[in-house]
Amino acid sequence: MSDSSTKDRGQKPLIEGRVPAAELRARSEALFMSIGDGAIATDEFGKITRVNAAGLKILGFKEHELIGEWFPSKIVAVDEFDQPLNLIDRPITQTFLTGKSVSKRMYYRTKSGDVKPVFVTTAPIILKKRPIGAIEVFRDITVENEIDRMKSEFISLASHQLRTPLSAIKTYSHMLIEGFMGELEPAQKKALQTVVIATNRMNELISTLLNITRIESGSISVAPKPTNIQKVVEEIIKELAHTASAKSITLTLESTTNQLSLRTDALIVKEILTNLVSNAIKYTPEGGKVNIRLVGKGQRLTVSITDTGIGIPEHAQDQIFTKFFRAANVVRRETSGTGLGLYLVKGLADQIGAKVWFKSVENQGSTFYVSLPRDSFKAEHVVRPPDE
Amino acid sequence: MAKILIVEDDTDLNAAYKLILERDNHTVKSAFNGQEALEVLKSFEPDLILLDLLMPIMGGLEFLQNYELHKKHPNVKVLIFTNMENSPEVSEAYKLGAHRAIIKSWTAPQNLTRVINDALAEKRGVTA
């Protein structure tokens, strides 16, 4: 390398002590400006001190239009219906209030009035242990959103195509059983009932796959409403009573609280509890017991499902919420499971801020616990990473 | 009993629904897409329409737009029979005046007749 090239700006030594202060500032400025995602820095009052090139490009502003402006008033965040977000719901405000890093999917209204979906992460800028402002990094996720939309559309179509032949199989099997085409022999009826049970299982599988894909693509919608949890459990018991009585299993409900109402998505709670109760019935031998218990404590309500079933072997206990996992004692007894049920339960619980755990002793039984927040709307503020 | 129009492109399902409903003494006509349905409706005013959404030539949504359920046929009940759950198409069908949406692959014949009888009862002002 020649002498002249080492004098170039880019070839200066990397040890900071040897670089003049002005040069260091210029380098940090260049570094900030070159970040590929949009970046905006503010002082401790929320006034914009710096915006990089990518940020200006996404928002359509010129640098001088933003510098010195109060961040939340100049950069307008809106929801998907173009309604401005409350100041308190904006990540930058959350970072100022909590001193923590916050991420959120939302929309920015650009200078020209367009609404762009963005994924935003804000963090406090700390100097000598003191916050001196905040930095926000954001990127345009129009393409990601479009891919998500196409993915959901594909799933919806695929599930439709899978269900269409099932509809005909199920309808005609029922018609044969009900004597539409003449009375059948008991053995023939029994054979058709097996067909119906198999189509029901196939239907459940399609629904499970559909739900899992929704969770994984982040396209599941949570609609919290006032919900009486006892009513939800009673409905589940009614629906599963037949399955339980076919195995002479006693299915009971015990409530130790009168504060049974909470704000949550009833359909998601029902899906979670149905999975757990039907597992309890499935893995409990004939003549056993399944008890559902409701316990209220502070800001949470816990539903526990205790069975006298085959239990989960100790060595398998840390894996049971894993996708496709099935414990060895289960595989030996029952071949029809998919290993997706508990994975789905866990995924759905995360959506509504619920916690799921269990205690189990092999050959004695298991208890699964679902602890539900009184208000799962608050779960919306949980920071979720973008789907990569 | 009631007059019912089945709009379903799957010929097997269409025939099955017809058999089931005729056994309940309903008067049933069949169409295999939205356009055929509009044709049948020129000479047949049903009490209830059983409507699939995904069909060739003219789907269920386009049929509802053309039929102008709200405006011209406020007394006709439309039951959506689809295998798409929670899809934007189903929400759209509700906006266009559909009464209920049912997942086909979950529905056994007893349920079909029950759902239809419930819808017809509501129409006559009987509380279900």
Structure tokens at A369: 């616990």
pLDDT confidence bin for A316, thresholds 50/70/90 = confident
- Residue A17 scores a pLDDT above 80: no
pLDDT at A12 over 60: no
For chain B, say whether A167 makes contact (Cβ under 8 Å).
yes
ipTM confidence: 0.78
A175 and B105 within 8 Å at the Cβ level: the answer is no
- Chain-centroid distance of CA A226 in Å reads 21
Question: A interface mutation test: which of B8, B12, B83, B84 has the most A CBs within 10 A?
Answer: B83
Q: Which of A88, A71, A122 lies closest to A378 in space, CA to CA?
A: A88
Cβ distance B105 to A174 less than 8 Å, yes or no, reads: no
* CA pair distance A4, B110, nearest whole angstrom: 90
Judged by CB atoms closer than 8 Å, whether chains meet at A171 and B109 is answered as: yes
- How many other CB atoms are found less than 10 A from the CB of residue A254? 11
State the burial class of residue A182 (Cβ atoms within 10 Å of its Cβ: 0-12, 13-18, 19+). Answer: exposed
- For residues A302-313, one letter each, b for 16 or more C-beta atoms within 10 angstroms of the residue's C-beta and e for the rest, the string is bbbbbbbbbbbb
pLDDT band at A369 (very low <50, low <70, confident <90, very high): very high
Give the separation between CA B76 and CA B4, rounded to whole angstroms.
Answer: 10
Q: Is A175 on the interface with B (CB under 8 A)?
A: yes
Task: Give the other-Cβ count within 10 Å of B108's Cβ.
Answer: 18
CB contact under 8 A, A163 and B12: no
* pLDDT of res. B89: 81
> Helices B60-67 and B88-95, interaxial angle, to 10°?
10
Phi, psi of A131 (to 5 degrees): -70, 130
Closest partner residue to B19 among A157, A160, A180, by Cβ?
A180
SS (H, E, C) B47-103: CEEEECCCCCCCCHHHHHHHHCHHHHCCCCEEEEEECCCCCHHHHHHHHCCCCEEEE
Give the helix/strand (H/E) hosting A257.
Answer: none
Kindly state the tokens that stand for A320: 């049971």
Whether the predicted model's global pTM rises above the 0.90 cut = no
Count CB atoms within 10 A of the CB of residue A83: 9
Q: A229-251 burial, b for 16+ CB within 10 Å, e for fewer?
A: bbebbeebbeebeeebeeeebeb
Residue A243 CA neighbour count, 13 Å, CB half: 16
What is the nearest CA distance from B54 to chain A, expressed in angstroms? 9
Helix (H, G, I), strand (E, B) or coil at A218: coil
pLDDT in tens, A63-99: 999 999 999 889 999 987 888 999 988 999 999 999 9
Model pLDDT for residues A204-249, shown as the tens digit of each residue: 888 888 888 777 776 677 778 888 999 999 989 988 888 899 899 9
Each residue of A111-146: pLDDT tens digit?
999 999 999 999 999 998 888 999 999 999 999 888
Give SS3 for A338. coil
Pick A175's closest partner by Cβ from B10, B16, B85: B16
Residue A362 identity: E
**How many residue contacts between A and B have a Cβ separation below 8 Å?**
62
Please tell me the predicted confidence (pLDDT) of residue A212.
82
pLDDT at A359: 95
Choose the mutation target among A150, A153, A171 for the interface with B, i.e. most B CBs under 10 Å: A171
Which chain B residues touch A178 with a CB distance below 8 Å? Answer: 109-110
pLDDT on residue B86: 64
Q: Tell me: the pLDDT tens digits for A163-180?
A: 888 888 989 999 999 898
Q: How far is A68 from chain B (nearest CA, A)?
A: 44
Chain centroid, CA A360 distance in Å: 26
pLDDT at A360 over 90: yes
Q: How much is the pLDDT for A5?
A: 45
| A208 token code pair | 């499970």
Tell me which residue in B83, B86, B110 faces A164 most closely, judged by beta carbons: B83
Pick from A156, A178, A203: CB nearest B105: A203
Strand partners, B71: none
Alpha-carbon span A144 to A108, nearest angstrom: 16
| 3-state secondary structure at position A91 | helix
Instruction: For residues A307 and A161, give the distance between their C-alpha atoms in angstroms, rounded to a whole number.
Output: 38
And the tokens for B72? 């011209």
Q: How far, in whole angstroms, is CA A31 from its chain's centroid?
A: 35
pLDDT value, residue A151: 77
**A42 — pLDDT class (breaks 50, 70, 90):** very high
Average pLDDT over residues A294-314: 91
Chain B neighbors of A206, CB-CB under 8 A: 105
Among residues A148, A168, A138, A15, which one has the least CA distance to residue A75?
A138
Tell me the residue type at A226: P
Q: Is B91 an 8 Å CB contact of chain A?
A: no
Tell me if A170 and B105 make a contact (CB, 8 A cut-off). yes
Q: What's A136's DSSP letter?
A: E
Q: Chain A residue closest to B13 (CA)?
A: A168
Percentage of chain A lying above the pLDDT 70 cut: 89
Cα–chain center distance at A256: 30
Distance CA B18, CA A355 (A): 48
- For residue B54, the chain A residue with the least C-alpha distance is A160
Hey, which residues does A40 pair with through a beta bridge? A51, A136
Report the C-alpha gap between A271 and A288 in whole angstroms.
23
